[in-house]
Amino acid sequence: VISLSVPLADRSYPVLVGSGAVRTLASVMPTRAKRAAIVTQAGIGVDVDPGIEHRVFTIGDGEEVKTLSTISDLCRAFASWGMTRADAVVGVGGGLVTDVAGFAAASYHRGIPVVHVATSLLAMVDAAIGGKTGVNLPEGKNLVGAFWQPSAVLCDLDALATLPARELACGRGEMAKYHFLTGDDLLALPLDQRIARCIKIKADVVGADEREAVGSTGGRALLNYGHTLAHALEIVTDHELRHGEAVAIGLLFAARVAHAMDRVSAERVAEHDAVVASYDLRSSLPEGLSADRALALMMRDKKAIDSLTFILDGPNGLEQVPGIDADLVRRVLVDFGATA
C-alpha cells in the first residue's frame, strides 16, 4: 500500500492506495471517534470495518439522489441513532457517495469527521481528494456544499474489480488529464503507482490552493484542463457522453486550440492524441455536433461576449488563458469535426 499525504498543515491527512487498503480503516479512524456511520450504496459491496461500533446508512444511486433531501434524510437518521460530535462518518463509494457523505459530515452538528473509502477510479483520483463536498439543485450541479477535508482517504484497488467498464473509462478520462499537469510520463508507471501519482498531483494542488481562491488562475483552476469543452459536450449529448469521457475529448480539443494559437507544436498535439488513445477513450466529437451550439454553451455563464477562457498548454505548461477569440475557437471546432 502506497501512502501519500494531502499537505494542509494541521489538517493534513493520509491517502492510502493499493490492494487491501480498506483493511487499514480502523487504523485511520479519528482517534476520538466512538461510533461510525457508514454511508454507502446498495451496489457497492465493499465491506468495511472501522473497528468501532457502526451502522450502515444506504443512499440511492444516480445524480437524482444527490440532493438536499438526501442530506436531510441522512442527518435525520444520524440523529435517530443519537450520533454526537464524538462520532464519525465513513463514505464508502464513488464520487457521489463521497460528495454526499462529506457534506452530511460537514453539516451534522456543524461538522464531524469523515473518512472516505473511494471505490470508483474517478473517486480515487479526483472526487474523494481535496475536500469539496456538496449536492445538486434543480438549478445546477454541485451548487450547495462545503469544503470539508476528510481525516483520511483509502483507495483500495481491489474495489475496481466490480466497477462497471463504463465507470472505469470515466476515471481514465480524468487520469489522462493528469499527464499534462506535470511533465511526467505517467504511462510509464504501473497502475497502482500511476493512480498514486495522480492523487499526489491533486493533493499538491489542493495543498497550495485549498479553497480555489476567487480569481486565482493557477492552482485548482488548472485541474479543469479539458473541462471547458467537456461540460458543453455533456449537455449537448444529454449526458450520454459521461464526464470523464467528455474530458478526454476536451483535452484533445484544448491541445488543438493551443496549437492554433502557436502555443504548442504539432508534436505536442500528437502527444495528447497518444495519451488519450492509450487510455482507450473516444477521441472524436459526437456526430453532427454544431460548432455554434458548442460555442454558445462554452460562453454561457462566463459573461463572455465574443471571447472565451480556456486552460491551455504552452511553453510554460498549463495556464488559464482569457480573451480567446470565439472565431478561432469555432474554426478549431470545425477542423476537429463539428459542423459549421
Ligand X SMILES: NC(=O)c1ccc[n+]([C@@H]2O[C@H](COP(=O)([O-])OP(=O)(O)OC[C@H]3O[C@@H](n4cnc5c(N)ncnc54)[C@H](O)[C@@H]3O)[C@@H](O)[C@H]2O)c1
Residues in contact with ligand X by CB under 6 A are 41, 43-44, 46, 61, 63, 66, 93-97, 99, 119-120, 122-123, 126-127, 130, 132, 142, 159, 162-163, 167, 170
Contact 91, 65 (CB under 8 A): no
Closer Cβ to ligand X, 229 or 324, answer by number: 229
Q: Taking the complex as a whole, how short is the minimal distance between the CB of residue 47 and ligand X, in angstroms? A: 12
Q: Are strands 2-6 and 13-18 parallel, antiparallel or unpaired?
A: antiparallel
What gap in Å lies between CA 322 and CA 318, rounded to an integer?
13
**Residue given cell 481491489 in the structure block:** 158
- Rounded least distance, CB 125 to ligand X, Å: 9
Q: CB of residue 269 vs ligand X: minimum separation in angstroms?
A: 26
**What is the rounded distance in angstroms from the CA atom of residue 60 to the CA atom of residue 70?**
9
Q: Give the H/E segment covering residue 3.
A: strand 2-6
Q: Least distance from C-beta 340 to ligand X, angstroms? A: 33
Residue 206 vs 333, nearer CB to ligand X: 206
Please give the helix or strand (H or E) that residue 169 lies within, else none: helix 165-178
Cell of 14: 493520509
**Scanning the structure block, which residue is given the C-alpha cell 498514486?**
196
Query: How far apart are CB 121 and ligand X at their closest, in Å?
Result: 8
- Least distance from ligand X to the Cβ atom of residue 226, Å: 13
Using the minimum distance from each CB to ligand X, give the nearer residue, 112 or 133: 133
Q: Give the orientation angle of helix 243-260 with respect to helix 227-236, to 10 degrees.
A: 130
One-character DSSP codes across 130-194: S-EEEEEETTEEEEEEEE---SEEEEEGGGGGGS-HHHHHHHHHHHHHHTTTSS--GGGS-HHHH
Helix axes 291-299, 326-335, angle to 10 degrees: 140
Q: Is-contact 10 69, C-beta < 8 A?
A: no
Which residue is at the shortest CB distance from ligand X?
Answer: 95
Q: Are 249 and 302 in contact (CB under 8 A)?
A: no
Cα atoms in the 13 Å half-sphere on the side-chain side of 271: 16
CB nearer ligand X, residue 237 or residue 339: 237
- Complex with ligand X: residue 41 or 269, whichever CB lies closer: 41
Residue at grid coordinates 449537455 = 235
Q: Minimum CB separation from ligand X for residue 318, in Å?
A: 18
CB of 61 to ligand X, least distance (A): 5
Spatial distance between the Cα atoms of 111 and 105, rounded to a whole number of angstroms? 6
Phi, psi of 108 (to 5 degrees): -65, 130
Nearer to ligand X, 67 or 193 (CB): 67
Sequence letter at residue 52: I
Nearer to ligand X, 67 or 142 (CB): 142
Pick the closer one to ligand X by CB: 44 or 199. Answer: 44
